[in-house]
Structure 1
């Protein structure tokens, strides 16, 4: 007799038997099965086949963690830190990470890296470097070594298993679509994958840009292999009421050729250096889209380039609600 109810439930879903899958997992969850509780929680996070309910998901993940699920524990840490389904609680998130680290090498590594950061009680940086202006029209600012080599590696590791061909936003529909303007591979480190290290880095990016960390979209990671590039473009979105006002680029590695960031209007070319960040505005002072912010990621000619991008919105941005959802 088959003894994997989660695999059975997935097979039912594939066959269109959603009610049967939900009922099967619910029975095992009611009996205290950690895997079933975790699956219910994840279904409530994704919104399929159960309705999206982040607070309910948090409660289920708590139960699964108490019954020994390390995966549930790691996601609970992320959601506690970034305030998904409840108010963000950094101290509680760190405490949960310490608990998971008793049984998880991954959590132990994250905790060790986190402890190397000089942070406040809310996870913000205790001190923040001042950006240096390197270009005008658009104004472009540079911060050397904003991320350490260990932090750069952590960002890449959080994304490597979900990389897929990058997309762009269709200016007519606002939907993601494949386009030859952008030929890299990309991944989004969404709220369930946001380790406390990633969250601390996002707060660091907020500090250097003079914004609230809640204004930032989920951190995106791009990988450019030889010949891949991002042709001239602007980062703003069509038809949104919460525009991307600012962009931060963080170069995660060196050891490749090409791949400079090129600003078309002022002919500024930024050569990537591991850990360095550049910041530029995408809108004018009146909030309108600034066409002078057009820029490109030039083709990589040798080796592989890794880049992280944080797009910052005009107002706080939630990845869980609204038409601009990030999975």
Structure 2
């Protein structure tokens, strides 16, 4: 009987580890999953195992946040052609002002598209239409849009000439080489953007330039395939239910739908909210409001009957709502008790407290999402608890 080679053994350990990490067909056992993924790493790794380890380390629960290890795992996964790693690397390069970074982002997106990544195709379409990191190629941009739409992604209009930034790869005919991976920027302690205090009690801030345009598109495109009717929590039972109070659709990024780039975005949300641990975050939610849809006045803190209060996470302390598009009519976030109104601006967020200074629910945190008149509204929301609620 032949002994499997290390690469085959690592691949088998990775598959089993990921099944246990996300509870695919079996009960989730994150600690056992970590042991298998580390064993795969010791054998030279497997692309999906490397990527999972990077995600786990970003969570800072089962593994510490170690920039060098996260960088190594993400790069090794991308070099082996794992499309989520390539896409995450592309978005990270896209935030960089270094020479050649936008060309590196295009290279990563191209390789991800070769692996059938529809979200990467949608992101690449915008870059090729605008000549952002590559020469303009409107014909291929439209081909990529069709590929993404067939995969169920709601791609925004791909128009425009040249993007705001360029580097030497934006000149047609210049070959794009594999990135210098040592320069891959991973911001594990990000800055939060420019904050403006709108109200002291409850604390309400607008944070501008929290995300860039490509990150906003990433969230929209990752979420658009998973949208379902938004639910509310029954104040008497704590159970989710459909109600006229909330008429949007949303996508809940449970762990199996999350990826490295989404965790890096949530670290930026954490910076805007005073740097709570990522383990205190409920799963990220992307919401879509069509014309006429809204979220009537409500409060985000949990009702006294909610079973979530009995767990280690306890109450919702802070809400971060980041706007993923602009230009719609209506759709403002309003706080009627304190006279605050925030108009959506792409990449900006409203961050507000749900509890008073003594930790008690603050009824003045009442807020609403006004009806959209025309156009559409996309929003990413994180609710942050008083304690940890994530397993990794």
Q: Which residue is 1:86 aligned to?
A: 63
Query: What is the alpha-carbon distance in structure 1 between the residues aligned to residue 327 and residue 186 of structure 2?
Result: 37
Contact 1:78 1:193 in 2 (8 A): no
The partner residue of 2:222 within 127, 152, 158 is: 158
Contact 1:249 1:308 in 2 (8 A): yes
For residue 306 of structure 1, give the secondary structure of its aligned residue in structure 2.
strand
Deviation at 1:208, TM superposition (A): 2.2
The count of corresponding residues between Structure 1 and Structure 2 is 290
Relative distance call for 1:110 and 1:46 in structure 2 (3 A) is: closer
Q: Which residue is 1:279 aligned to?
A: 351
Query: What is the alpha-carbon distance in structure 1 between the residues aligned to residue 319 and residue 335 of structure 2?
Result: 13
The partner residue of 1:45 within 5, 10, 21 is: 21
Contact 2:283 2:382 in 1 (8 A): yes
Q: Is 2:308 aligned against 1:308?
A: no
Aligned-residue CA RMSD (Å): 3.1
Structure 1 unaligned residues grouped into runs of 5+? 1-31, 322-327
Deviation at 1:251, TM superposition (A): 0.2
Q: Deviations over 1:72-112 (max 9, x none)?
A: 55434322322354334443222111111121344223213
Pairs within 5 Å for 1:10-21? none
For residue 87 of structure 1, give the secondary structure of its aligned residue in structure 2.
coil
Relative distance call for 1:107 and 1:39 in structure 2 (3 A) is: closer
Higher strand share: 1
Q: Is 2:175 aligned against 1:110?
A: no
Contact 1:165 1:186 in 2 (8 A): yes
Query: What is the alpha-carbon distance in structure 1 between the residues aligned to residue 210 and residue 85 of structure 2?
Result: 23
Structure 2 unaligned residues grouped into runs of 5+? 1-7, 97-183
Contact 1:234 1:295 in 2 (8 A): yes
The partner residue of 2:326 within 232, 240, 254 is: 254
Q: Which residue is 1:189 aligned to?
A: 253
For residue 302 of structure 1, give the secondary structure of its aligned residue in structure 2.
coil
Contact 1:79 1:191 in 2 (8 A): no
Pairs within 5 Å for 1:1-327? 40-47=16-23, 49-61=25-37, 70-83=47-60, 85-102=62-79, 103-117=81-95, 123-125=188-190, 127-214=191-278, 215-239=280-304, 240=309, 242-315=314-387, 317-320=388-391
Relative distance call for 1:188 and 1:67 in structure 2 (3 A) is: farther
Relative distance call for 1:73 and 1:176 in structure 2 (3 A) is: farther
